[in-house]
């Protein structure tokens, strides 16, 4: 059996009408299908609303294949009614929570208290703060800088451009108008630690580049995705060691980059946390199933990552 514990409908050419075909082609028996709800997106050009109605409709059609999750933005005044309705319909938990707050924000506490009271799993996205280039038009120098700052070369060109602006004043007026501060998503590790302690009944499932960048100790903080050799246990690794209610899924660019950067570290990580790791793809295909099968040769350990851990969190 295979459970993909991190999928979205309508992302990366995964349309609703072909979603089950995708699962069949990839040999996936069940999929955790997640939403993304940000009430007032801090970066509107990069926000992709992954709506609840699509998830709900697909779940009703295929209840034996879809395990639905819903994460309302806790800034919504009616978030509790919205979430309770979906849980009553058979939704399994809260996810993907991808919002521009930190764990200790006042707006977060009622949602966390609710999830703790109901002992629900929470899939969350961690992403560090940074400057993002917002083009005035998608052509010419704006087109080029959008890609150099936001999308290409893993943050290296963004670092060079911002260093040149600060040190030599190159393009300062132009860049100051177009570089917007992104506050990050749930990025504080100390605050996450406090939440893990305060809300022990929540099964926290970590995901996203900021979490995976801190499996090892980061050397170059400007990189979108940390790479290179393992540099000792980072904050994410230590929290996984210390808190039984913290899990992680290995999906997306961030999970793949982290677990392919150092073969020795990969094997040690999978062996140590095999009972806390969930297989997932986040609508990508970076060979993570093959990586798990390569490093976990014992069937029991391999099955734990590929489906049993997910089952243990939802019973579905």
- In sequence order, the β-bridge partners of residue 207 are 125
Q: Indicate if the pLDDT at residue 256 is higher than 90.
A: yes
Candidates 248, 238, 222, 218; CA nearest to 230 is: 218
The model's pTM: 0.96
Q: For 184-211, what is each residue's pLDDT tens digit?
A: 999 999 999 999 999 999 999 999 999 9
Please, what is the end-to-end C-alpha distance for the chain in angstroms?
12
Greatest distance between any 2 Cα atoms in the chain:
60
State both tokens at 97.
């929570």
Q: Indicate if the pLDDT at residue 170 is higher than 90.
A: no
Task: Read off the DSSP letter of residue 307.
Answer: I
Q: For 69-108, what is each residue's pLDDT tens digit?
A: 999 999 999 999 999 999 999 999 999 999 999 999 999 9
Which domains does the chain carry? Answer: 3-129+183-314 (3.20.20.140), 132-181 (no CATH)
Using a pLDDT cut of 70, give the percent of the chain over it: 100
CB neighbour burial string for 1-37, b if at least 16 within 10 angstroms, e if fewer: ebbbbbbbbbeeebeeeebbebbeeeebebbbbbbbb
At 138, the pLDDT band (50, 70, 90 cuts) reads confident
Quick one: pLDDT at residue 220?
92
E strands along 175-278, which residues? 179-182, 203-207, 246-249, 277-278
Q: Indicate if the pLDDT at residue 6 is higher than 90.
A: yes
Beta 203-207 vs 121-125: how paired, if at all? parallel
CA angle 179, 99, 15 (to 5 degrees): 95
Q: Indicate if the pLDDT at residue 14 is higher than 90.
A: no
Contact 54, 16 (CB under 8 A): yes
**Residue corresponding to tokens 């099964």:** 203
Mean pLDDT of the chain: 95
Q: Which residues 6+ apart lie within 8 Å of 283 measured at CB? A: 7, 8, 11, 12, 14
At 303, the pLDDT band (50, 70, 90 cuts) reads very high
At 228, the pLDDT band (50, 70, 90 cuts) reads very high
Quick one: pLDDT at residue 148?
93
State both tokens at 304.
């734990």
Q: For 28-80, what is each residue's pLDDT tens digit?
A: 999 999 999 999 998 888 899 999 999 999 999 999 999 999 999 999 999 99
Quick one: pLDDT at residue 168?
86
Query: How far is residue 8's CA from residue 31's CA, in Å, rounded to a whole number?
Result: 9
Quick one: pLDDT at residue 196?
98
**CA quadruple 294, 276, 281, 99: dihedral positive or negative?**
negative
Q: Indicate if the pLDDT at residue 2 is higher than 90.
A: yes
Query: How far is residue 288's CA from residue 154's CA, in Å, rounded to a whole number?
Result: 20
């Amino acid at each position: 059996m295979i459970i993909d514990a991190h999928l979205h409908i309508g992302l990366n050419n995964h349309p609703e009408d072909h979603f089950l075909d995708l699962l069949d082609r990839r040999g996936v028996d069940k999929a955790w299908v997640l939403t993304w709800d940000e009430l007032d997106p801090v970066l509107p050009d990069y926000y992709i609303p992954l709506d609840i109605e699509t998830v709900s409709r697909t779940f009703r059609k295929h209840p034996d294949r879809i395990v639905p999750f819903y994460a309302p933005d806790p800034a919504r005044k009616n978030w509790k009614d919205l979430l309770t309705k979906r849980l009553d319909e058979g939704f399994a938990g809260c996810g993907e929570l991808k919002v521009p707050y930190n764990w200790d924000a006042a707006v977060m506490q009622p949602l966390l208290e609710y999830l703790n009271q109901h002992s629900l799993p929470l899939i969350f996205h961690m992403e560090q703060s940074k400057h993002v280039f917002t083009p005035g038009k998608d052509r010419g120098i704006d087109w080029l800088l959008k890609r150099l700052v936001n999308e290409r070369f893993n943050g290296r060109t963004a670092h060079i451009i911002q260093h040149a602006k600060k040190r030599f004043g190159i393009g300062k007026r132009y860049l100051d108008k177009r570089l917007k501060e992104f506050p990050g998503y749930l990025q504080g590790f100390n605050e996450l630690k406090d939440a893990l302690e305060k809300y022990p009944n929540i099964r926290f499932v970590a995901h996203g580049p900021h979490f995976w960048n801190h499996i090892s100790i980061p050397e170059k903080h400007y990189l979108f995705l940390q790479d290179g050799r393992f540099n000792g246990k980072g904050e994410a690794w230590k929290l996984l060691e210390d808190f039984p209610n913290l899990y992680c899924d290995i999906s997306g660019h961030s999970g793949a980059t982290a677990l392919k950067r150092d073969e020795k570290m990969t094997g040690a990580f999978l062996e140590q946390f095999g009972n806390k790791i969930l297989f997932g793809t986040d609508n990508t295909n970076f060979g993570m199933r093959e990586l798990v099968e390569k490093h976990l040769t014992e069937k029991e350990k391999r099955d734990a990552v590929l489906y049993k851990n997910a089952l243990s969190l939802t019973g579905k």
